Amino acid sequence: MRLELIPRRDVSSLQRSLAPLWAILAALVMGGLIVAFLGRSPLAAFRVYFLDPLTDPWALQELAVKATPLIIIATGLVYCFRANLWNIGAEGQLIVGAIFGSILPLATVGMESAPWVLPAALLLGALGGAFYGFIPAILRVRFGVSEILVSLMLVYVAELTLDYLVRGPWRDPKGFNFPTTPTFESFATLPNLASEGRLHAGIIIALICAAVTWFVLNRTLFGFGIRVAGEAPRAARFSGFNANRMTIAAFVISGGLAGLAGIVEVTGQIGQLKPAISGGLGFTAIIVAYLGRLHPVGIIFGAFVIALTVYGGEAAQIALKLPLDLTRTFQGILLFCVLAADALTTYRLRIVRGVTA
């Protein structure tokens, strides 16, 4: 006896749209079982994780702050994933973007005013991430090296480079020997959008990135080429699209947006470089991209769902004494549920009895 996946003949757009919702419900059930196994009330955990943050104005601002980098990174990953390319190194591209983008803010520490620093820093951050995304793309195109391994291994290079800089040449001499850089001046940081709270202008940048990505993928020839290259590579070649150029362009854009997310995170809520500036945002954005069905609008929804689990996990750690690692476990379960929902929407399971010759 074995299981086979049989393609479904007719799958409506409504069924595909509802698949992420079924995945979220399935993940909630599994997460509730884990909470019950830990000796806590699943209903209390559900309230702390998902209901309380939505009724607190300050918590809503925190959700937007946490969702901002996820939206930017995930919209960049869409270009690669739609083209059937696997950029697993957005975490490293984010870190390199933060490093490149911090050059000018650190060079202007002590100056009274320099309004050009912030836009220049954002541009440098995007260029740094684009450069780091170019490396796995060119190695794949020229030498056939797996972009999965290269992009993933480059994450460790970026992390060690950042650690060296903040502990060495960029360390704050007045920082009591802590591994941090000097704090950026106010003109080199993103302005706050609210008088109270940490909501900053990065959320506007994130929404602009999502809108531009939607326009590029749905209203331009380049976006059409990306979609065709991922869904029908032979048709893309016959249509005149250069696969190598598409690969490089997709990785450069993806890395550039990850780098932009890095400098937005640093200039938005951190205000300086330190060894841990990401906390796995580049990897979490992969879940966001698939939860949003590789669609910019869906990514915004998915980013806020993941942000809700992160914020709720921090609250549950205090209120219910649940381990913070439970949040990452739930995110992993959610990714598997999303992939399973997609598979079961496109295919149906059939049990085959007997042994074939």
| Residues with Cβ within 8 Å of residue 9, at least 6 apart in sequence | none
pLDDT at 354: 64
Tokens 């993103």 — which residue? 190
| Residues with Cβ within 8 Å of residue 293, at least 6 apart in sequence | 16, 17, 19, 20
Domains of the chain, by residue range, sit at 66-291
Instruction: List pLDDT tens digits, range 96-136.
Output: 999 999 999 999 998 988 999 999 999 999 999 999 999 99
- Give the pair of three-digit tokens for residue 266: 């640093």
What are the CA-CA distances from residue 23 to residues 8, 181, 198, 211, 332 (Å)? 19, 42, 31, 25, 12
Q: Judge whether 80 and 148 are in contact, CB under 8 Å.
A: no
pLDDT at 232: 79
pLDDT at 135: 97
> pTM of the full predicted structure?
0.92
| Residues with Cβ within 8 Å of residue 82, at least 6 apart in sequence | 217, 226, 227, 230, 250, 294
> What is the mean predicted confidence (pLDDT) over 31-52?
91
Look at residues 282, 19, 274 and name the one whose alpha carbon lies nearest to residue 132: 282
Number of Cβ within a 10 Å radius of residue 319: 16
Number of Cβ within a 10 Å radius of residue 240: 7
Confidence grade of residue 169 (pLDDT, cut at 50, 70, 90): very high
Helix (H) or strand (E) holding 187: none
